[in-house]
Chains A and B, each alone.
Chain A
Amino acid sequence: MFFNSLAFAIFLPTVFFLYWFVFNKTKSAQNALLIIASYYFYSCWDWRFLFLLVFSTFLDYYTGIQIEKGKSEKSRKFWFWLSIIVNLGFLGMFKYYNFFASSFSDLLNSIGIKASPILLEVILPVGISFYTFHGLSYVIDIYYKRIKAEYNFVDYSLFVSYFPLLVAGPIERATHLLPEIKVKREFDLEKAKEGICQIIWGLVKKIVIADTCATYANAIFDNYTSMNSFSLILGAVYFAFQIYGDFSGYSDIALGVSKLFGLDLLRNFNYPYFSRDIAEFWRRWHISLSSWFRDYLYIPLGGSKGGLWMKIRNTFIIFIISGFWHGANWTYVAWGFINAVYFLPLLLSNSNRNNMDDIRLKFDFDSAKVMMSILYTFLLTCIAWVFFRARTITDAVEYLKRIIVNKDFSFQYLDNERYSYEILLMIGVFVLIEWNNRTKLEPLSGKRSMLKIALAITAVIAFGTFSDYKEFIYFQF
């Protein structure tokens, strides 16, 4: 069941009605309903993986309590590592085992040792990377005594399985979401209206921007050897907007849906393509994942406090693991590596926290510099996205090489039966709208909200891509 499906359009109002009109007496009733709804939502993909989700939930719930109750450090450590190993074990088995097995086999074959890997015939359970990270952050926080263990299984289950964030995040923290779950929610009209605006804007991003860009990006990336320089540049830009529209659109819908139930989730995107450097980009892109890695990996490794080598090591570790989190493919590792290369000079020159303020433009030289730095940062991200999107690293390198050597900047007719430049105007309008609303969560609320909603709905209906349906990219992660 996708957020942009008819099934979800029936599911959401049904749960909303039951939540506020039938199960609205107590917090427990509200949570119980959301749990049932979440498990139903998840089982729509594959009910068999529900057992894995329930097991993972129970494991972290139980080990969390045992860590808190543990009288000796040894016992606390035992339950802590048990949770970490089992959680990462499942993630590793489902997501990474086949990749490592075949990569190892390739390595042996390359040095003349014949090997054929034993591969598992398993499909990746949807959302496993997200709910595993929910559980891990909870257990780690208890171990380091940042939070108390949760003794109410229903409340804890809801924290892990809450359907808007279950399959593609944002990756929530127990410190943030559990306190909200622990109290009965009262209906808040303004919050609900904000939620509706955010859902509609999320649909614009997904259906109008991401899915439309996807048809062009696919046509270009899948046939890159016959594309000219101009088309290849456009392909990278289209993919940049595809992945942004897709993932931030999903996050917007998740946040909006949550607001309908009186819950606030962590903001996941903050107009990342308006970043002035890569450090700022990573403070604005997939914020819940970046901050997760910062808090649970980068800082425990020593962060940027150590010497030069430690800084370099930690930067590469966090970016490469972050890349690898996205999928079992060397292209994601390369994407992480490239971002580490981008980020490192800023860290070493202590300029990684230069652009913390809001962007304000005037008609002066400084503003022109800001615009140039935004464009430069976007260019860098587009280069990195080529690695993220390409099938192999070789393809990515060839793609970039062809941009330089081809030198043909004419318009091309693509496989999707459209000219390569056709959606530039639409992207331009989208960027302009986002730019003018960059201080807000989304552009639809505020003055003349109904008119803006009407325009957004018109855009979804008239300009959306429906026939070539695409699921959300981040579901595969």
Chain B
Amino acid sequence: MKQFLIYITKVLLITILIAIVLDGLYTYVFLQSKNRGKIEDVFNSKTRNYDVVILGSSRANNHFDAQMFQDNGLKAFNFGMSGGHLFEASLLLKLMVERKYEIKNVILEADLNLASQHEAEGISALFLPYIHNSKIIKNHFAGKENFNELYYIPFYRYIKYETKIGCRETFFAAIHKKTNQLDNLGYRGLERHKNANMKNNIAKLNPLPHNKYYEEIKNICKANNINFIAVMTPMCENVVGMNYFDKVKKSYPEIHNYENVIVEDKYFSSCGHMNDTGSKMFTAKILKNFFKK
């Protein structure tokens, strides 16, 4: 039995050792990666200057054409992330500030995402390779339920989110395989689909009265003299529960309601996302109203 216990201890030690080695290897690869996504692009970057930084979910990513800002003499980048919540937008802005980005304006898409303070697992996982290399990321995740496992168990985060930061993603990062996420200054224009779903029901959705991460973003901007512009972006005509946007306006009077500036279905790719044409019209309005362009 003693021999067996030694044997099993060896197997366990090997397992721990493998987890530590793989953890180090994967983290090293992600620390070298620059061309696969917005998070690693920011994390592995140094000082940058922007006139306009756009943050939010896919409704920011697909709605603000950063090139139009650029064409009007404003250096801009769209850091909106499809599937992301304000949890990730806030953390990304914190990292930018830590890297001493000089940002004049932040445009935050703040509408449907105000209803949640949870992280979007698929997006927040992309920060986790750096959790041991950044106090900001560590502190941002510190309150989360599974923080201890993610932080202290070697390789656990890569196992838990293997579809996002597992061996496949690590392999592509190692060979520097480029994605299209950073193309078009981060903006991703959508096409109009013939059979797209042009209905939505948000009647049960309610904005949180004091969304922690929205307030965080607002405060970071204030502390760093960044002009903060929060906007609600358009949705298609057939939405049930459109008074959601009135509720947002009531709780957050400083958020500009642009929900109804584009309404016709022909400008939408799906109910919550405008197509490229709609997005360009919308961006033009934003440029005119906030930047006098």
Question: A-side binding surface: helix, strand, loop or mixed?
Answer: helix
Q: Please state if B22 and A196 are interface contacts (CB–CB under 8 Å).
A: no
Query: What total count of A-B pairs have CB within 8 Å?
Result: 51
Q: A453-B11, A466-B159, A468-B163 are in contact. Are A461 and B18 (CB under 8 A)?
A: yes
Q: Which of B8-33 contact A (CB under 8 A)?
A: 8, 10-11, 14-15, 18-19, 22
Partner of B162, one of A189, A418, A467: A467
Give a binary string over B225-252; 1 marks a CB under 8 Å from any A CB, 0 the rest: 0000000000000000000000000000
**Is the C-beta of B289 less than 8 angstroms from some C-beta in chain A?**
no
Interface size class for chain A?
Answer: 20 to 34
Interface assignment of A235: CB less than 8 Å from any CB of chain B: no
CB distance from B8 to the nearest CB of A (A): 7
Contact A189 B167 (CB under 8 A): no
B195 CB–A CB distance under 8 Å: no
A22 to chain B, nearest CB (A): 13
Q: Is the CB of B163 within 8 A of A467?
A: yes
Distance (Å) between the CB of B167 and the closest chain A CB? 5
Residues of B close to A422: CB separation below 8 A: 168
Bound: A196/B5 CA distance, A? 12
CA distance in complex: A439, B14 (Å): 27
Q: Are A187 and B1 in contact (CB under 8 A)?
A: yes
> What separation, in Å, do the CA atoms of A386 and B10 have in the docked complex?
43
Residues of chain B within 8 A (CB-CB) of A65 are none
Could you say which residues of chain B place their CB within 8 Å of the CB of A187?
Answer: 1, 4
* B199 is an interface residue with CB less than 8 A from chain A: no
A18-33 CB contacts (< 8 Å) to partner B: 20
Let me know if B4 and A450 touch, CB within 8 A.
no
Which residues of chain B have C-beta atoms less than 8 A from A371's C-beta? none
Q: Is A189 in contact with B4, judged by CB distance below 8 angstroms?
A: yes
Q: How far is the CB of A262 from chain B (nearest CB, A)?
A: 12
Docked complex Cα distance between A463 and B167 (Å)? 6
Task: State whether A196 touches B155 (Cβ < 8 A).
Answer: no
The chain A residue sitting closest to B122, CB to CB, is: A467
A192 touches B4 (CB 8 A): yes
Q: How far is B7's CA from A235's CA once the two chains are assembled, in angstroms?
A: 40
- B135 neighbours in A (Cβ, 8 Å): none
Q: How far is the CA of A467 from the CA of B159 in the complex (A)?
A: 7
Whether, in the assembled complex, B101 has its beta carbon less than 8 Å from a beta carbon of chain A, the answer is: no
Given A454-B18, A461-B22, 7 more pairs with CB closer than 8 A: A187-B1, A196-B8, A196-B11, A454-B14, A457-B15, A466-B160, A467-B160
Sorted from nearest, which 3 A-B pairs have the closest CB atoms? A466-B159, A454-B14, A462-B167
Cβ contacts A to B, 6 pairs, < 8 Å:
A418-B168, A457-B11, A458-B18, A461-B19, A461-B155, A465-B162
**Residues on A facing B (Cβ under 8 Å):** 20, 187, 189, 192-193, 196, 200, 417-418, 422, 450, 453-454, 457-458, 461-468
